[in-house]
Structure 1
Amino acid sequence: MTASVPPVRARHRAALAVVLCAGLTATLTACGGEDPDKGTNGVGRLTAAQIEKKAQTAAASADAVRLAGKLVSKGGTYQLDMRLREKGGTGSVVSKESTFELLRIGDDLYLKADSGFWSHDEKPGADAHAGGAAADKLQDKYVKVPEGDPTYKQLRGFTEKKTLLDGLLTLHGTLDKGDRGTVGPTRTIRIKGGKGGKGEGGMLDVSLEGTPYPLRFARAAGGGIVTLSDWGKDFPLQAPAKEDTVDYGQQLPKTSS
């Protein structure tokens, strides 16, 4: 006669199996679950600190990147769309009061903006007509920014890959791993800085496909959100034509940026 398992004992075994399956990590598929890192680059299995380091290394080794989104700083709020590489960059910057384009090739920095970008500190008796004439002259023309100009360093910072990425790819506080998600069609893993895993120290979404590039960054304290794309994709940088360039002189007029 064939032995049979008492119904009560069978139920106990089934319950035990459920408990064991619930306690195992998602990387085990014996209980019917699916490994969330299957088919990925494996970064999701690392600690938050290791993921951050991987993303920073990948970003530093890439020849080029496109950065788009909003940055909030003491100097104001800026909407950026910049393509950057080691020795130059090009793109647009929109602030509360103005819109302008930047082009840098090595140390040569060019600025193009509409007349609303340019302004002078007008004092009593100042010639407003002269200021308007200067703005009309500069409108929609490239102006080569003198390296000694007070705004050169500020404007150049928008075109520097290392400067921008160094400020974007460092989280503050204790690091924690967050949820898996997507940025566009690409699967990602999120890491968060701060206390208690809330992300108040910034949040970074890192690619789980191919090279672990950072794909989206939310700055701490509402400092803006930017997306990073086109990693390693080269783009042309060419000085503007002479007829499209205005030589303003040794120092630009003060701007409203």
Structure 2
Amino acid sequence: MCALLVTGTGLTGCGADPDEGTNGVGKLPAGTIQTKTRTAAASADAVRLSGTVVTSGTTYTLDMRLKGDGGTGSVTAKGATFRLLRVGEHLFLKADAAFWSHEEDGGKGDAGHSSTAAAAKLGGLFVKVPTGDPSYKKFSGFTDKEVLLDGLLTLHGSLATDGHHTQSGVRTIRITGDDGSGGTLDVSLEGSPYPLRLVRAGGAGTLLLSDWGKDFPLKEPAKDETVDYGQQLPTS
């Protein structure tokens, strides 16, 4: 009698082909899989990205929906949650007064501005961030599908495959960099080879990627919900 093999994803019949009925990328070399998944990600019209990213010593918890002309969603860092919205080049940031106050870091908001006077004006409204303001460079990347995925979807070191798995009920092939120390990426074996789960190298966060190709509304907030300070956010 054929025994059942216990894998990381469940029970597999002896001699069963784990790639049967898939898109076939599970049979390819790891480097080819990475190329195909990056191509698939770049060609998709939209994606949802959620999880954590650690950069410059700060952990950001993201729940963003992204497409070619912008993105929208929430970001949490240092105990404060704020919303980002970018339509074309126009970036808006919405947070409560506590975000702008940040008394625990010496009266400086996360955007780097003295917040005592600004908090009452900015709390609860979409603040249009000037392109020349340091905050624009700091946060716009979280709303840029091309920049964000290009920076995240590269594994480091020698690439290899690490078996068949599942992610949110979807069969995947996992590829690794330097046996996992350079990051791991689960790639869909169903339909397009989209990346579904990324564990970044060096403990720099874990991200889930979903809703590939699913469009969502993206428009600027109404004028009565917006504060526009012009050239620079207030510093006092």
Range of TM-score over shorter length: 0.7 to 0.9
One of 208, 216, 230 as aligned partner of 1:235: 216
Counterpart CA distance in 1 for 2:117 and 2:55 is: 32
TM-score (norm 1): 0.79
Shift of 1:96: 1.2
Shift of 1:122: 6.4
Greater strand content: 2
Shift of 1:207: 0.2
TM-score (norm 2): 0.86
Correspondence for 1:94: 76
Same amino acid, percent of matched pairs: 63
Q: Secondary structure at the match of 2:156?
A: coil
Q: 1:235 to 1:223 in 2, by over 3 A?
A: same
Paired amino acid for 1:249: G
Unaligned runs of 5+ in 2: 1-12, 108-113
1:54-203 maps to which residues of 2 (within 5 A)?
A: 54-119=36-101, 131-194=115-178, 197=179, 199-203=180-184
Counterpart CA distance in 2 for 1:76 and 1:34 is: 45
Shift of 1:235: 0.6
Root-mean-square deviation over aligned CA pairs: 2.1
Unaligned runs of 5+ in 1: 1-30, 124-129
Paired amino acid for 1:173: G
Q: Secondary structure at the match of 1:165?
A: helix
Q: Deviations over 1:86-121 (max 9, x none)?
A: 111000100014211011010011110111211489
Correspondence for 2:31: 49
Structure 1 position 245 matched with structure 2 position 226: yes
Correspondence for 1:204: 185
Counterpart CA distance in 2 for 1:226 and 1:80 is: 9
Q: 1:253 to 1:220 in 2, by over 3 A?
A: farther
Q: Highest Rg: 1 or 2?
A: 1
Counterpart CA distance in 2 for 1:70 and 1:97 is: 13
Counterpart CA distance in 1 for 2:17 and 2:106 is: 65
User: Conserved in 2, the CA contact under 8 Å of 1:118 and 1:253?
Assistant: no
Counterpart CA distance in 2 for 1:162 and 1:70 is: 18
Q: 1:182 to 1:148 in 2, by over 3 A?
A: same
Shift of 1:151: 1.3
Counterpart CA distance in 2 for 1:237 and 1:102 is: 12
Q: Secondary structure at the match of 1:110?
A: strand
Q: Deviations over 1:223-255 (max 9, x none)?
A: 00000001111111111111111123321246x
Correspondence for 1:16: none
Q: 1:173 to 1:32 in 2, by over 3 A?
A: closer
**Deviation >6 Å, runs of 4+:** 120-123
Q: 1:138 to 1:200 in 2, by over 3 A?
A: same
Paired amino acid for 2:229: Y
